[in-house]
């Protein structure tokens, strides 16, 4: 039940989502025009409204030329820039989709068209070649070395090494075998050696690979709850400004001003939140993309959003917080024995021990300057569950190490007549959460080895960061409470669950959720499935059991349990980006008013020139500058929308003040500067 340690490949794993290529840019430009179809804009009222105004401005410009009424140049310029606004918004969405589409294409290429070997009669070994798409649930197929596994399934017999690079990008093969948590195989992966019999568990068309393609392509992309709410807000604002602009016709008429509908339309477009309206879907897609970049697949945008909201992280101790293997950190000699003697005995007892613990003892000896080579002709006594000790017999001597009671029994001593100092050492180690191993040379007790679960470096700092972000970390372990408490304290987790069973995990998640917290966890075993399904963000390991992969709402292709922390960060980053652009967009309105309102009325009410605080050249240049700024700001913010606002692990208060300063205050100030600059340029080139 372990993943075999095969020599790692030299090449780096290929990532699914990489940076832009010129071809992708070209495709995005093309799609921006395709998306001009108003039916495609129905879900985006802000941009749809912009397009309608652009169409009206175009008609007006054409009528201006045809009828010879005044100059058609100004309405033409407005119309062009309004169309540009729509195109820029469409382009933002297309470019965001581009990466996913490219990734989907490469995945699709790996879908097999070869025939599956369907086992019709198991006893006689009758095999019928069948096209993959004709396979049904529950049918059994044979896959041999060199074959591509045609569909998702469960191994019922055999063991094989499987290359899963098509899915994970990781080219080192992994072992898949029947029974246990490594029995799931994925369609599109290749059997490298041996053979397996696989029961089909997914209909062709709904396999993991198919779901992956759908996800990265965004075919299944529905609006997330927060996106829907934001769309409602944006639609509401659009309506409010529609009211403001339409009723202005009446007030202007009262004041003896005849308003040009093109100018009124321009005012409307400038006021409605086109910036966030144009970039909203790009932000969402880019969020999914960033997950894809760290090799995590989310089943829905909803899951990514939930990741940002997570309050409690359940982390498995082994592999996430600790290295997973206990390591020797010291050897405490029994009174009267010199330290190097005790050390030497411990190393001798471990020379033949190839377990990570044994190796760590030899390694510890080496760092103490104790270089021992195995004596020739020695006999290695391997560890067994019944004796609970291991060691070496050589040169007429014997060395043993093992659990304290087993070793005492071996040398015929009872627990009662342990040397006092030895007893203290053992108890001290146990209290600190470590494991004591007694060492004997012959029949003499020489010392005790301290085996310790070593916490990964940097973990404590990471958890401190998480705490600042408001996330509680809970360590899950099968260890006893004493050991668990010691490791929890060292790693700096907020809480721990010792001697945890899958049922305990599920109960803990329900408890946390009952207190109004959102919970994220990762898991790979079939028995993790209920907890993965219950958690708000359940990250299943790609190498894990099929049941786990189906229960979670994300799959980590690297099968790295620490990834859940990155997932939370990606979720937060997406929400922050969305909020920053919304705030920026709304704050922009103040400056646009100061550009356009005086321009609208100043011919009849010259006193309103006082509101032209930017000192824009003429009413036409003021309006055109505002419209151009409004369009260009979308383009300028595309990189931010795709890359995301930089996320820092600080408290909510600090994060808010920082982002409010940049995007709120920046949103107020930037258009004043931008519109002025555009006005200066337009004037300098005599364009208005």
Partner 1 sequence: MNWQGWAEIALTLGLALALGWPLGVFMSRVWNGEKTWLDPVLRPVERVFYAATGVDPNKSQSWIGYGASLIAFNLFGFVLLYAMLRLQGVLPLNPQGFAGVTPDLAFNTAVSFVTNTNWQNYGGETTMSHFTQMAGLTVQNFVSAATGAAIAAALARAFAGNKLSGVGNFWADLVRTTLYVLLPLSIVFGVALIGTGVVQNFAASVTATTLDGANQTISVAPAASQLAIKQLGINGGGIFNVNSAHPFENPSPLSNLLTAVAINTLGWAAFFAFGRTAIARKDIRALATAAILILAAGASVIYVTESQPAPALVAAGVENPVYMEGKETRFGIASTAAWAAQTTGASNGSVNGMHDSFSPLGGGMAMLLMMLGEILPGGIGSGIAIMVVMAVLSVFVAGLMVGRTPEYLGKKIEAREIQFAMVALLIVPLSTLGFAALTVAWPGALASLFNPGAHGLSELLYAYTSATANNGSAFGGISANVPWWNTTLGFAMLLGRFVPIVAVLAIAGSLAAKPKLAPSAGTLPTQGTLFVGLLIGIIIILGALQYFPALALGPIVEHFQVLEALGAN
Residue 214 among known ligand-binding residues: no
Q: How far apart are CA 554 and CA 542, in angstroms?
A: 10
Residue 357 among known ligand-binding residues: yes
β-strands 537-541, 519-523 pairing? parallel
Choosing from 152, 316, 479, 589, the catalytic residue is 316
Minimum CB distance to partner 1, residue 290 (Å): 13
Query: Among residues 219 and 240, whose Cβ is nearest to partner 1?
Result: 240
Minimum CB distance to partner 1, residue 232 (Å): 5
Residue 624 among known ligand-binding residues: no
Residues 53 to 112 in contact with partner 1, rule: CB under 8 A: none
Residue 388 among known ligand-binding residues: yes
Residue 528 among known ligand-binding residues: yes
What angle in degrees, to the nearest 10, is found between the helix axes of 261-271 and 619-643? Answer: 30
Query: Among residues 379 and 609, whose Cβ is nearest to partner 1?
Result: 609
Residues 267 to 326 in contact with partner 1, rule: CB under 8 A: 267, 305, 308-309, 311
Is residue 479 annotated as a catalytic residue, yes or no? no
Q: How far apart are CA 289 and CA 307, in angstroms?
A: 14
Contact between residue 45 and residue 276 where contact means Cβ atoms under 8 Å apart: no
Question: How many angstroms separate the Cα of 632 from the Cα of each of 31, 38, 456?
Answer: 19, 22, 47
Q: How far apart are CA 281 and CA 272, in angstroms?
A: 17
> Tokens 């500058």 identify what position?
625
Q: What is the DSSP string of 643-659?
A: H-PPP----HHHHHHHH
Using CB under 8 A, pick the residue from 137, 229, 613, 673 that binds partner 1: 229
Binding-residue total with partner 1 (CB under 8 A): 74
Q: How far apart are CA 589 and CA 319, in angstroms?
A: 51
Residue 405 among known ligand-binding residues: no
Minimum CB distance to partner 1, residue 49 (Å): 15
| 571 scored as a contact of partner 1 (CB under 8 A) | yes
Q: What is the DSSP string of 46-76?
A: HHHHHHHHHHHHHHHHHHHHHHT-S-SHHHH
Phi-psi region of 78 (alpha: psi -120 to 50; beta: other; left: phi over 0): alpha
Query: Among residues 343 and 584, whose Cβ is nearest to partner 1?
Result: 584
Tell me the two tokens of residue 525: 């075993």
Using CB under 8 A, pick the residue from 611, 632, 635, 680 that binds partner 1: 611
Residues 572 to 601 in contact with partner 1, rule: CB under 8 A: 572-573, 575-576, 578-580, 582-583, 586-587, 589-590, 593, 597, 600-601
Residues 618 to 677 in contact with partner 1, rule: CB under 8 A: 647, 651-653, 655-657, 659-660, 663-664
Site mask for partner 1 (CB under 8 A), range 235-274, x = bound: xxx-xxx-xxxxxxxxxxxxx-----------x-------
Q: How far apart are CA 308 and CA 551, in angstroms?
A: 20
β-strands 174-177, 115-121 pairing? unpaired
Q: How far apart are CA 307 and CA 650, in angstroms?
A: 17
Minimum CB distance to partner 1, residue 54 (Å): 21
Residues 465 to 524 in contact with partner 1, rule: CB under 8 A: 467-472, 515-517
Helix (H) or strand (E) holding 563: helix 563-587
Query: Among residues 257 and 454, whose Cβ is nearest to partner 1?
Result: 257
Long-range contacts of 392-396 (CB under 8 A, 24+ apart): 392/348, 392/349, 392/351, 392/352, 394/348
Residue 106 among known ligand-binding residues: no
Minimum CB distance to partner 1, residue 587 (Å): 7
Residue 501 among known ligand-binding residues: no
Q: Which residues are annotated as a binding site?
A: 353, 357, 383-390, 401, 524, 528
Active centre residues (catalytic): 316
Q: Which residues are annotated as a binding site for ATP?
A: 353, 357, 383-390, 401
Q: Which residues are annotated as a binding site for Mg(2+)?
A: 524, 528
């Amino acid at each position: 039940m372990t993943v075999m340690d095969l020599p790692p490949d030299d090449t780096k794993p290929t990532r699914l989502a990489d940076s832009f290529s010129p071809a992708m840019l070209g495709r995005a430009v093309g799609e921006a025009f395709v998306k001009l179809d108003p039916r495609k804009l129905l879900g985006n009222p802000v941009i749809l409204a912009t397009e309608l105004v652009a169409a009206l401005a175009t008609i007006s410009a054409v009528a201006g030329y045809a009828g010879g009424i005044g100059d058609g140049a100004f309405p033409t310029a407005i119309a062009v820039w309004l169309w540009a606004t729509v195109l820029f918004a469409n382009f933002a969405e297309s470019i965001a989709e581009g990466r996913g589409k490219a990734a989907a294409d490469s995945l699709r290429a790996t879908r097999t068209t070869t025939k599956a070997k369907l086992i019709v009669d198991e006893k006689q070994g009758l095999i019928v070649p069948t096209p993959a798409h004709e396979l049904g649930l529950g049918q059994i197929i044979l896959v041999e070395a060199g074959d591509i596994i045609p569909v998702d399934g469960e191994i019922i017999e055999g063991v094989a090494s499987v290359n899963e690079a098509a899915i994970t990008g990781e080219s080192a093969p992994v072992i898949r075998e029947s029974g246990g948590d490594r029995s799931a195989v994925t369609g599109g992966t290749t059997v490298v050696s041996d053979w397996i019999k696989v029961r089909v568990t997914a209909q062709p068309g709904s396999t993991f690979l198919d779901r992956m393609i759908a996800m990265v392509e965004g075919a299944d992309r529905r609006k997330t709850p927060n996106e829907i709410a934001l769309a409602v807000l944006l639609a509401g604002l659009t309506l409010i400004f529609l009211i403001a602009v339409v009723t202005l016709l009446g007030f202007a008429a009262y004041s003896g001003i005849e308003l040009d509908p093109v100018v009124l339309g321009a005012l409307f477009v400038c006021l409605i939140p086109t910036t966030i309206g144009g970039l909203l879907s790009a932000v969402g897609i880019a969020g999914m993309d960033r997950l894809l970049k760290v090799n995590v697949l989310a089943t829905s945008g909803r899951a990514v959003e939930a990741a940002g909201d997570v309050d409690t992280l359940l982390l498995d101790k082994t592999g996430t917080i600790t290295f997973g293997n206990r390591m020797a950190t010291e050897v405490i000699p029994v009174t009267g024995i010199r330290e190097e003697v005790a050390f030497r005995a411990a190393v001798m007892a471990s020379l033949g021990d190839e377990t990570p613990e044994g190796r760590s003892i030899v390694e510890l000896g080496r760092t103490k300057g104790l270089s021992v080579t195995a004596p020739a002709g020695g006999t290695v006594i391997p560890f067994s569950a019944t004796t609970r000790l291991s060691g070496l017999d050589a040169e007429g001597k014997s060395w043993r190490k093992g659990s304290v009671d087993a070793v005492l029994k071996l040398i015929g001593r009872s627990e009662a007549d342990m040397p006092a100092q030895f007893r203290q050492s053992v108890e001290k180690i146990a209290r600190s959460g470590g494991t004591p191993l007694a060492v004997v040379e012959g029949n003499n007790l020489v010392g005790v080895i301290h085996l310790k679960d070593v916490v990964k470096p940097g973990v404590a700092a990471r958890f401190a960061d998480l705490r600042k972000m408001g996330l509680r970390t809970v360590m899950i372990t099968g260890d006893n409470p004493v050991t668990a408490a010691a490791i929890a304290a060292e790693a700096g987790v907020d809480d721990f669950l010792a001697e945890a069973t899958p049922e305990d995990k599920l109960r803990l998640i329900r408890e946390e959720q009952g207190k109004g917290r959102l919970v994220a966890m990762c898991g790979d075993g079939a028995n993790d499935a209920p907890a993965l399904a219950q958690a708000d963000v359940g990250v299943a390991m790609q190498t894990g059991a099929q049941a786990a992969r189906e229960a979670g709402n994300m799959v980590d292709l690297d099968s790295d349990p620490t990834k859940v922390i990155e997932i939370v960060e990606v979720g937060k980053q997406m929400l922050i980006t969305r909020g920053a652009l919304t705030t920026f967009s709304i704050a922009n309105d103040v400056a646009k008013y100061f550009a356009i309102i005086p321009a609208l009325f100043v011919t009849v009410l010259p006193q309103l020139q006082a509101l032209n605080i930017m000192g824009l050249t003429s009413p036409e240049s003021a309006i055109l500058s505002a419209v151009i700024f409004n369009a260009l700001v979308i383009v300028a913010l595309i990189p931010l929308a795709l890359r995301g606002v930089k996320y820092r692990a600080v408290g909510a208060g600090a994060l808010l003040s920082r982002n409010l300063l940049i995007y709120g205050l920046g949103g107020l100030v930037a258009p004043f500067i931008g519109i002025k600059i555009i006005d200066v340029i337009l004037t300098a080139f005599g364009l208005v």
